[in-house]
């Protein structure tokens, strides 16, 4: 890993799992805030090195954990990608990384940023906390969060998924990469999907847990008390923009909705500079309050 501000650290999870985490800028003596980044499906911590470097240049530090079932497989585990114990493990790992951020830099504000599946994890993390617990976070940024799919499942398909998640929870599907749906920049899209840890695997159990978490977020949106920037990609064909707009409407003033003429991975598309500036400005605005 290049750069004196970048290194890999291991964060102890609640259940003893060692969370492989990318640390960018944490060794700086001065930083405005720490941003915990929750990556998307099939990605890993290294997928967010470039944007972490940009945020570091703007005065922040970043911690990017590998989600369960993603990234570097733990030693001795053959089937890792696309398999999770449960959705709660995603949330517990965010809490563990938050505790590590506090230990490494006491008193520094902490913000959350998540893309796609990671955006859904950020929202579910906050919505399952009391408002007093949510107050530990300065603000959040969710980019094209997975709150529903572009092509939603029928009730029959959801029912079948529920059965399969019980009968064969670790059985996996492999979704082929769809570069044309991620970014209009073909080189950036290839950089995402041709990465050595980009896997495409999704177990029935993991998919059911994610879909249930989408329902939970939509049903409990009014519990959100952390100022949140919700970035929506107008050319979206992966997740459901109507669900995002409904979420923002139900949440009220606590959510700032911004729409970008972009495909799913806004931070890797041709509007990335605008999005990055908006994210930095949004977090800075809450540092000043």
> Where do the DSSP E strands lie in the chain?
6-12, 18-24, 34-38, 61-65, 110-115, 140-143, 172-174, 201-203, 228-233, 255-260
| The pLDDT of residue 1 is above 50 | no
Q: What are 20's strand-pairing partners?
A: 10
- The overall average pLDDT reported for the chain is 94
Q: How confident is the model at residue 3 (pLDDT cuts 50, 70, 90)?
A: low
Cβ-Cβ contacts under 8 Å for 177 (sequence gap 6 or more): 42, 192, 193, 198, 200
The residue to which tokens 């990234």 are assigned: 71
Q: Where are the domains of the chain?
A: 6-287
C-alpha 230/C-alpha 21 separation (Å) is 24
Of 187 and 251, the one with more pLDDT: 251
Task: Please report the pLDDT score of residue 4 as a whole number.
Answer: 62
Q: What percent of the chain has pLDDT over 70?
A: 99
Q: What are 223-260's pLDDT values in tens digits?
A: 999 999 999 999 999 999 999 999 999 999 999 999 99
Cα distances (angstroms) measured from residue 225 to each of 12, 96, 125, 143, 216: 28, 21, 12, 18, 16
What is the Cα–Cα distance from 137 to 124, expressed in whole angstroms? 14
Cβ atoms of residues 149 and 239 within 8 Å: yes
What's the pLDDT score for residue 288? 86
Lowest mean pLDDT among 58-67, 104-113, 166-175, 208-217: 166-175
Burial 54-91 (b: 16+ CB within 10 A, else e): bbbebbbbbbbbbbbbbbebeeeeeebbbbbbebebbb
Among the ranges given (66-70, 179-183, 263-267, 271-275), the one the predictor scored with the smallest mean pLDDT: 179-183
Which among 103, 56, 59, 23 has a CA at the least distance from the CA of 288? Answer: 59
What DSSP character marks residue 175?
A: P
- The yes-or-no verdict on residue 265 having pLDDT over 90 is yes
- Specify the pLDDT at position 186: 85
Q: Give the list of residues 6+ apart from residue 86 with CB closer than 8 angstroms, or none.
A: 209
CATH of domain 6-287: 3.40.50.1820
With a CB cutoff of 8 Å and minimum separation 6, the contacts of 142 are 113, 114, 115, 119, 120, 122, 123, 228, 229, 230, 231
pLDDT at residue 56 greater than cutoff 50: yes
Q: What is the pLDDT of residues 145-164, one digit of tens each?
A: 999 998 888 899 899 999 99
Q: What percent of the chain has a predicted confidence (pLDDT) above 90? A: 83
Average pLDDT over residues 101-117: 97
Dist. CA 123–CA 146, nearest whole Å: 10
Residues 84/69, Cβ–Cβ less than 8 Å? yes
Confidence of residue 78 (pLDDT cuts 50, 70, 90): confident
With both helix axes pointing from N to C terminus, report the angle between 204-219 and 117-127 in degrees, rounded to the nearest 10. 50
How does residue 209 score in pLDDT terms, banded at 50, 70 and 90?
very high
Q: What is the model's pLDDT at position 192?
A: 82
* pLDDT, position 5: 85
DSSP string, 71-89: SSPPTT-SS-TT--S-HHH
């Amino acid at each position: 890993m290049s750069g004196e501000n970048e290194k890999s650290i291991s964060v102890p999870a609640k259940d003893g799992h060692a969370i492989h985490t990318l640390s960018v800028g944490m060794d700086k003596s001065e930083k405005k805030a720490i941003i915990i980044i929750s990556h998307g499906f099939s990605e890993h911590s290294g997928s967010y090195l470039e944007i972490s470097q940009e945020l570091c240049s703007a005065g922040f530090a970043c911690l990017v954990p590998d989600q369960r079932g993603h990234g570097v497989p733990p030693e001795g585990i053959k089937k890792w990608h696309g398999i999770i114990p449960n959705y709660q493990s995603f949330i517990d790992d965010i809490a563990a990384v938050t505790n590590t951020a506090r230990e490494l830099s006491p008193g520094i504000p902490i913000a959350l940023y998540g893309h796609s599946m990671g955006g859904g994890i950020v929202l579910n993390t906050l919505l399952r906390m009391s408002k007093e617990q949510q107050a530990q976070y300065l603000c959040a940024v969710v980019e094209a969060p997975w709150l529903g799919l572009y092509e939603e499942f029928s009730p029959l398909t959801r029912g079948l998924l529920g059965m399969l998640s019980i009968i064969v929870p670790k059985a996996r599907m492999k979704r082929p990469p769809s570069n044309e749906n991620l970014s209009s920049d073909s080189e950036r899209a290839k950089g995402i999907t041709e990465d050595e840890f980009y896997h495409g695997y999704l177990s029935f159990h993991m998919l059911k847990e994610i879909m249930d978490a989408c329902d939970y977020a939509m049903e409990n949106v009014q519990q959100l008390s952390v100022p949140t920037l919700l970035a929506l990609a107008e050319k979206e064909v992966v997740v459901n923009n109507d669900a995002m707009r409904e979420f923002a409407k139900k949440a009220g003033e606590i959510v700032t909705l911004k729409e970008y003429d972009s495909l799913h991975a806004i931070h890797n598309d041709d509007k990335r500079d605008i999005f990055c500036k908006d994210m930095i400005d949004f977090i800075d605005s809450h540092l000043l309050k």
